[in-house]
Chains A and B, each alone.
Chain A
Amino acid sequence: MAAVCGRFLEPAVVRGLAQASAARPGARCRYFSSSALLRANSGEPPKFQPPPKPVIIDKSKVVVERRFLSPEFIPPRGRKDPLKYYIERIDMIRRRKVLNIPEFYVGSILSVTTADPYASDKTSRFVGICIQRGGKGLGATFVLRNVIEGQGVEFCYEIYNPRIQEIKVLKLEKRLDDNLMYLRDALPEYSTFDVNMKPVPYSPNDEIPVNQLKVKMKPKPWSKRWERPYFNIQGIHFELPEEIMEEAQKLSQPWIKFDMLREYNTSELEKKIWNEVNEKLKK
């Protein structure tokens, strides 16, 4: 209805204003540019002033600043005193002020430089895809995987280890799963990443792209039976016969998602910790 009114209002408004300005040529009209003013001030013909560019506020696309709290800040469910996690968080924030630990997810490609006493230039650099993020507090780890000269290599780095000198995100993206351990049984092309690849730029406010890639696997046997519903893997293109898939589905436990004892709602905790962490990081 507003749109309909708008369509009818605009010419009417314009006509009305035109009439008003025509009636009183010296009158200042807010809806037009300062051409009327110039006309009023001096008798010379006014310079052409282009009308001001319209400011289009597209309210359908709301820009929300992405709030990312690293998962190791959220304490696990348990009986430990929250003071212990608070003390650990203080140390984690101190380390983050010295070393920039960027936001990354499982599926992003990172490059990590660590201090190595046995290397010639005392540093060692490794590039790989993050397949797992584990641990809470100061002992949080992430595993990077790459295939170097045909050999699959995995490195488990501790995020707060003082030997780490630089963590760089070369490609920030998410995958369909939280845990990409199945890449060990996938074809090696899915785990190979160029060691000298150029970082892909990303803006801090964009949504993180989710890579919908479905990975093809090596022939069975695998290290784990990834087709089983316990792992809940979305990112594998299973080419197994249907009988095996049906047998696997027999082991599904659909009642688990209704189990209230397994619920762990961290939203309140996350908000508090987010505020606390941000305040301290700004200091």
Chain B
Amino acid sequence: MPGWGLLCRAGARLLAGVPGGPVQAAATGTRGPWRFIVRPVNSSTWWDEHLSNENTQFLKQLTAEEYRAQTASKLCPLKDEPWPLHPWEPGSRRVGLVAIKLGMAPLWTKDGERHAVTLLQVRDCHVLKYTSKEENNGKTALLVVGGKNSSPFHKSESALEIFREAGVPPKQKTTIFKVSDNAIIKPGTPLYAAHFRPGQFVDVTAKTIGKGFQGVMKRWGFKGQPATHGQTKTHRRPGAISNSKVSKVFRGKKMPGKMGNIYRTSFGLKVWRINTKHNIIYVNGSIPGHANCLVKVKDSFLPTRQDCYKNPPFPTFFADGEEELPEDLYDQEVFQFTDSSVTYV
């Protein structure tokens, strides 16, 4: 509302101006903040509040077409001046991906053992921004990577700037990866699931399922108190929180509070299988987060798992390169369903 702006400026002029008068009289004694005199401006509106239906439809179609064109133009990164590609050296760190957790499924090995795997789908993953190591901290370069496409209408201008510069549709999740100098990638390159190969180990970070405000038994695993034998109104309480000698409660004391909805990482998860057609990674075990949540996947840092990085696709897998990968890549031990049943000799 334009009226509020005028009022604000008028109010500011009154305050800054002549002492005495209605301003000083209102704020008795101390010169209180001017919010007591002029009401604050809180105008929050959403993007299509003041747009007609036709305009909304048009904008939606326009953005959709624009982003489809952008994605199509980025499909051949090797053909439009990529940054120089360096070979892999021991000690180099490459980018990770942003993936969507689809769900879990069983997987059998050739020995007949059953493992549970999580399916992660890499959908519209692009490199967004490069920060050189001089700009960062003098030691490691940074690459910002974005995940699933989302609408631009509920994002701030500052966030949309990054996507505009990269020439890529706005993403739902952006993460930062610390990268060695020989693994930097030009912003705008798409990243695929074949960036990882079966047999290697990854770390997966995601926000855990939020449980809300929880008591001490669920949140920290306290034992609580017995149900019977005279307990008065005390069955799930923490009990004692400190002793009298210390006469204070230590910082970080486990108490009830908001549980979940925090970032947690699962380390050293083996990649069993990669589907290059739908860009799906089959990762061993479970992962924090609910179904369809966005996760950050990167090469494992564990020292005992570094042997498998002898020949990774470095700096990343380019779909328009010379490599023609089959639709499914399996680890050596995985039972493929096209084989005949497992028999023991």
Q: Is A154 an interface residue (CB 8 A)?
A: no
Q: Is B344 an interface residue (CB 8 A)?
A: yes
CB-CB contacts below 8 Å: B227-245 with A: none
- Contact A98 B337, beta carbon cutoff 8 Å: yes
Chain B residues with CB below 8 A from A139, complex form: 105-106
CB-CB contacts below 8 Å: A141-184 with B: 158, 160-165
Chain A residue at smallest Cβ distance from B327: A90
- Contact A87 B106, beta carbon cutoff 8 Å: no
Considering only CB atoms and an 8 Å cut-off, how many residues of chain B contact the other chain? 25
Q: Which residue of the partner chain, among A88, A98, A160, A162, contacts B112 with CB atoms under 8 Å?
A: A162
With A79-B291, A98-B337, A115-B112 as contacts: A84 and B344 at CB distance below 8 Å: no
- Contact A80 B103, beta carbon cutoff 8 Å: yes
With A80-B291, A84-B103 as contacts: A165 and B341 at CB distance below 8 Å: yes
Q: Is A228 an interface residue (CB 8 A)?
A: no
CA distance A91 to B114 in the complex (A): 15
**B-side interface mostly:** loop
Chain B residues with CB below 8 A from A84, complex form: 102-103, 105, 119
- The distance from the CB of B86 to the nearest CB of chain A, in whole angstroms, is 35
Q: Is B72 an interface residue (CB 8 A)?
A: no
- Contact B106 A164, beta carbon cutoff 8 Å: no
Chain A residues with CB below 8 A from B106, complex form: 138-139, 158, 160
- Contact A137 B105, beta carbon cutoff 8 Å: yes
- Contact A163 B102, beta carbon cutoff 8 Å: no
Q: Is B342 an interface residue (CB 8 A)?
A: yes
CA distance A162 to B337 in the complex (A): 8
CA distance A70 to B4 in the complex (A): 66
Chain B residues with CB below 8 A from A94, complex form: 337-338
A-B CB pair tally, cutoff 8 Å? 75
- Contact B344 A98, beta carbon cutoff 8 Å: no
With A79-B292, A80-B291, A87-B278 as contacts: A164 and B105 at CB distance below 8 Å: no
Q: Is B30 an interface residue (CB 8 A)?
A: no
Q: Is A117 an interface residue (CB 8 A)?
A: yes
Chain B residues with CB below 8 A from A97, complex form: 338
- Encoded as 1 (CB less than 8 Å from any A CB) or 0, chain B from 313 to 339 comes to 000000000000000000000010111
CA distance A243 to B164 in the complex (A): 75
Chain B residues with CB below 8 A from A78, complex form: 291
Chain A residues with CB below 8 A from B339, complex form: 98, 162
- Contact A80 B337, beta carbon cutoff 8 Å: no
Q: Is B108 an interface residue (CB 8 A)?
A: yes
- Contact B292 A80, beta carbon cutoff 8 Å: yes
CA distance A198 to B79 in the complex (A): 67
Chain A residue at smallest Cβ distance from B337: A94
CA distance A158 to B112 in the complex (A): 12
Q: Is A116 an interface residue (CB 8 A)?
A: yes
- Contact A115 B105, beta carbon cutoff 8 Å: no
Q: Is A216 an interface residue (CB 8 A)?
A: no
Chain A residues with CB below 8 A from B105, complex form: 84, 87-88, 137-139
- Contact B341 A99, beta carbon cutoff 8 Å: yes
CA distance A115 to B342 in the complex (A): 7
Q: Is B200 an interface residue (CB 8 A)?
A: no
- Contact B119 A87, beta carbon cutoff 8 Å: yes
Q: Is A44 an interface residue (CB 8 A)?
A: no
Chain A residues with CB below 8 A from B119, complex form: 84, 87
- Of A80, A84, A94, A137, chain B has the most CB atoms within 10 Å of the CB of A84
* A-binding residues in B (CB < 8 A): 100, 102-103, 105-106, 108, 112, 114, 119, 121, 275, 278, 280, 291-292, 335, 337-345
Q: A83-B278, A139-B106 are in contact. List 11 more A-B contacts (CB 8 A).
A: A81-B103, A81-B121, A87-B102, A87-B278, A98-B341, A99-B341, A115-B343, A116-B344, A117-B112, A158-B106, A160-B337
25 A-B residue pairings within 8 Å (CB atoms) = A79-B291, A79-B292, A80-B103, A81-B100, A81-B102, A83-B121, A84-B102, A87-B102, A95-B337, A97-B338, A98-B340, A115-B343, A116-B344, A117-B112, A122-B343, A122-B344, A122-B345, A139-B105, A160-B106, A160-B337, A161-B112, A162-B335, A162-B337, A162-B342, A165-B343
- The 8 A-B pairs of least Cβ separation, nearest first, read A94-B337, A84-B102, A117-B344, A162-B342, A95-B337, A84-B103, A163-B112, A122-B344
